[in-house]
Amino acid sequence: MNPTPLDEIVASVRNYAGLTRKLPIKGVVQELSATHEYGNALPNYGDDAAVIPFKDEFLLFATDGMMTGLILNEPYAAGKASVMVTVNDIFSMGGRPLGLVNVLASGDEEERARIVSGIKKGCQKLQVPMLGGHLHPDPGLKVPSLSVAILGHAKKTLRSHLAKAGDDLILAIDLSGKRGCSSVTSWDANSGKTPEELHHRLEALPLIAEKEWSCAAKDISNAGILGTISIFMENSGKGAWIDVEKLPRPKDIDLLDWLHCFQSYGFILSVHPDNSPKVLDLFSQRKVDAAVVGQVTATDQVIIENSRGSKVLFDFQTDEITGIRYQPGEGP
């Protein structure tokens, strides 16, 4: 079978709505950065959670909002996903979750019940408590919304801006799943697994952080696999080359579809080559499909390649995804 043309991959990734919607982040971050002087959180260069030193460890504080289309079309799935995505944010940074709160707006009683049922199921599956929140049950609401915030803690962290030139890029995905909800392109590797199985799999991330096998990681977001890796490199002030033929992938999914799938379990890590065998073995022990898919470079370019050649995916001298790009010497 001939490989997917690299030009098609580049166009598909660069024009994907899950990635292009990230661009306004820069303006919001710049406007609110002045408020950071009021606390002691570490500087944030694209992390999935705020990092707050507390006693001899770190508190991790994150939030996420569900896309309106998902809530309208699949309210139960939206409720479950709201727990999953925030829990993944904490584990992706080497942490463990403590609890959740939510803000739910829905004037339709049946819709609201389905959302809450999904939240409950998500909490039961991932064994994280929903501790409170705020409800807007007004009947006149035409558009529902759901946001969830999470608090976690970590002994050592995995950050979004600390990828180092020469590191291996390890993609870890659970391929023992199926296509997820129909409203978004997604891969469901959580359904059918016990809470114990899900936690055993997620615990790989804090263990990697605590063993100092890596200090940089990110979970695969709605920007997709290559989009998330590119954001990771943008945040780190680095470039990368990525072999698309090495990406772990189910056999029955087209490559372009797979690149856009939101993953219920998917992480990209920057790992020194000396530590890569240990990281790969740890994921393998936990039934996670992990592979070295490329390498971090000291350039401004993310380059993809296959058996037929290579192509620049992003050049951060001219391109911005989130616009958040770490420069050495700016902070921890």
Q: What is the pLDDT of residue 185?
A: 85
CATH class of 6-19+158-315: alpha beta
pLDDT digits (tens, 9 = 90+) for 125-162: 999 999 999 999 998 888 999 999 999 999 999 999 99
Fold: same for 6-19+158-315 and 40-154: no
Q: What is the pLDDT of residue 70?
A: 94
Q: How many helices (H) and strands (E) does the chain have?
A: 11, 15
For the chain, percent of residues with pLDDT exceeding 70: 98
Q: What is the pLDDT of residue 332?
A: 63
Q: What is the pLDDT of residue 329?
A: 66
Assigned token pair, 72: 């309208």
**Neighbour-count burial for 237-246, b at 16+ CB within 10 Å, e otherwise:** bbbbbbbbee
Q: What is the pLDDT of residue 64?
A: 96
Report the CATH number of the 40-154 domain. Answer: 3.30.1330.10
Average pLDDT over residues 296-309: 96
How does the average pLDDT of the chain come out, rounded?
95
Average pLDDT over residues 181-185: 82
Q: What is the pLDDT of residue 1?
A: 63
For the chain, the domains span: 6-19+158-315, 40-154
Q: Where are the beta strands (DSSP E) in the chain?
A: 50-54, 57-65, 96-105, 130-136, 145-154, 168-173, 178-179, 186-188, 214-219, 239-243, 262-263, 266-271, 289-297, 301-306, 309-315
Q: In which band, very low, low, confident or very high, does the pLDDT at 327 lie, cut at 50, 70 and 90?
A: confident
Among 32-41, 134-143, 201-210, 250-259, the range with the most confident prediction by mean pLDDT is: 201-210
